[in-house]
Amino acid sequence: MPGRSPADLARELGLPEAIKLASNEVPYGPLPGVVEAVVEATAAVHRYPDLGVVELREALAEHYDVSPDRVATGCGSVALCEHLAKVTCLPGDEILYAWRSFEAYPIIAATTGATSVRVPNTGQHGHDLRSMSAAITDRTRMILVCNPNNPTGTTVRRAELDRFLDSVPDDVLVVLDEAYREFVTDDEVPDGLLAYGDRANVVVLRTMSKAWGLAGLRIGYLIASPEVAATVRKVVTPFSTNAVAQAAALAALRQADEVRRRCALVVAERERVTTAIRALVPDVPASQANFVWLPLGTASAEFGAACEKQGVIVRPFQGDGVRVTIGTPAENDAFLKAAATAL
Ligand SMILES: Cc1ncc(COP(=O)(O)O)c(C=O)c1O
């Protein structure tokens, strides 16, 4: 859910522009070479794309040092998550996840006919893996672990995730949703692929929407066992990784150094914003993603509306808190000013 349009808000407020810090995008524009690749690819848009997404899957496989048969791509990682639910669950089966977490999870479960089993987050806003483990039943088919967690930015660390995965039966699929992996700086937070890539029931879900700057072109991918990846490739909507998106993703993958540089800028700003906002909201948890979480509870909607009045769009989840994406330094300053007024 993308949040409201900054152009509409700017018009409404009579401002030259409004700032959108609501969808966890990176603010630095497309990576070098992406626009050119897109333009070149448009010359052939009367043709279908490569159904097997072979070149891109090979490039992803090389990037992560895995074999291409372990890779599947889709129209955003959210679509892959849906496909995974489809291949694992029949109506009445259970999908287990922490809550609050990514708002697409309940929708994905509902549309598959699966039952959502939500385990409340800890008082520190993170996954309660012990309770999640205790919530596994013989109907559980898929477990989603969002690391870092959207919208709270919290993480699960290596030792607790090891213990949790050991407690999960082999025939239950664990999806490590690592949409924000590139922003992680805590060494104790495992890279799901490096740490658990050898486990047949673990799927690592990643996206090019955030750090790789391709949200508008919709490219997600997963790395799993060859069997799971092949099953997902069979059910993926044909051609849903479109030709322009494939070309853009290939160009983006050549910019890994630039991605690292941009992520470092985001991380530096994340730390600055966290320190500054804690002067107003002391219990803001440490974030390992490209957003921060303000646990404002029932004041969330009002805070969101107050920020909007000042031209800054954030993402309130009424009753729980407000998620604020890290933008450019100037955008973050505008948010901090709006927050000081709002609070
Ligand atoms: C945790 C998480 N997973 C997956 C996604 C989906 O990303 P996309 O469908 O753009 O690849 C998002 C996007 O916000 C997210 O926050």
Q: Report the atom number in ligand 1 closest to the C-alpha of 79.
A: 9
Burial grade of 296 (CB within 10 A; 0-12, 13-18, 19 or more): buried
The closest-lying atom of ligand 1 relative to the alpha carbon of residue 101 is 1
Instruction: For ligand 1, atom 6, name the residue with the nearest CA.
Output: 78
- Residues 201-220, mean pLDDT to the nearest whole number: 98
Is 0.85 topped by the overall pTM?
Answer: yes
Asked if pLDDT for residue 291 goes beyond 90, the answer is yes
Residues 152-176 as b/e (b if ≥16 CB within 10 A, e otherwise) read bbbbbeeeebeebbeebeeebbbbb
Alpha-carbon separation of residue 287 from 23, 64, 182, 273, 284 (angstroms): 16, 25, 13, 10, 9
The rounded Å distance from CA 15 to ligand 1 centre is 30
- 225-234 pLDDT, tens digit per residue, is 999 999 999 9
Q: Each residue of 165-190: pLDDT tens digit?
A: 999 999 999 999 999 999 999 999 99
Q: Please state the rounded mean pLDDT for residues 13-41.
A: 97
Find the 40 Cα to ligand 1 centroid distance in Å.
Answer: 27
Average pLDDT estimate for 135-158: 98
Residue 333, number of CB atoms within 10 A of its CB: 15
Instruction: Report, as an integer, the average pLDDT of 97-116.
Output: 97
On the question of pLDDT at 124 being above 80, the answer is yes
Segment 235-239 shows an average pLDDT of: 96
Mutate to test the pocket of ligand 1, among 154, 210, 212, 218 (most ligand atoms within 8 A of CB): 210
**C-alpha distances in Å from residue 333, one per residue of 19, 180, 263, 328:** 11, 23, 18, 9
| Mean per-residue pLDDT over the chain, rounded | 97
> Which pair of structure tokens corresponds to residue 109?
């479960």
Query: Among the atoms of ligand 1, which is closest to the Cα of residue 23?
Result: 14
Identify the CA nearest to 228 among candidates 147, 287, 170, 290: 170
CA 59 to centroid of chain Cα atoms: 21
Ligand 1 interacting residues, C-beta cut-off 6 A: 24, 76-78, 102, 146, 150, 177, 179, 207, 209, 215, 220
Say if residue 18's pLDDT is above 70: yes
Cα of 22 from ligand 1 centre, angstroms: 13
Residue nearest to atom 3 of ligand 1 (CA): 179
Q: How large is the greatest C-alpha to C-alpha distance in the chain, in angstroms?
A: 57
Residue 191 scores a pLDDT above 80: yes
Q: Measured from the CA of 207, which atom of ligand 1 is nearest?
A: 11
Q: What's the pLDDT band for 4 if we cut at 50, 70, 90? A: confident
CA atoms within 13 A on the CB side of 80: 33
- Position with higher pLDDT, 1 vs 265: 265
Residue 2 has pLDDT above 60, yes or no: no
Q: Which atom of ligand 1 is nearest to the CA of 220?
A: 11
The pLDDT score that the predictor gives to residue 1 is 47
Say how many Å lie between the CA of residue 14 and the centre of ligand 1: 32
Answer yes or no: is pLDDT of 3 > 70.
Answer: no
Q: For residues 87 and 74, give the distance between their C-alpha atoms in angstroms, rounded to a whole number.
A: 15
The burial class, CB within 10 Å (0-12 / 13-18 / 19+), for 206 is buried
Whether residue 249 has pLDDT greater than 70 = yes
| Residue 205: pLDDT over 90 | yes
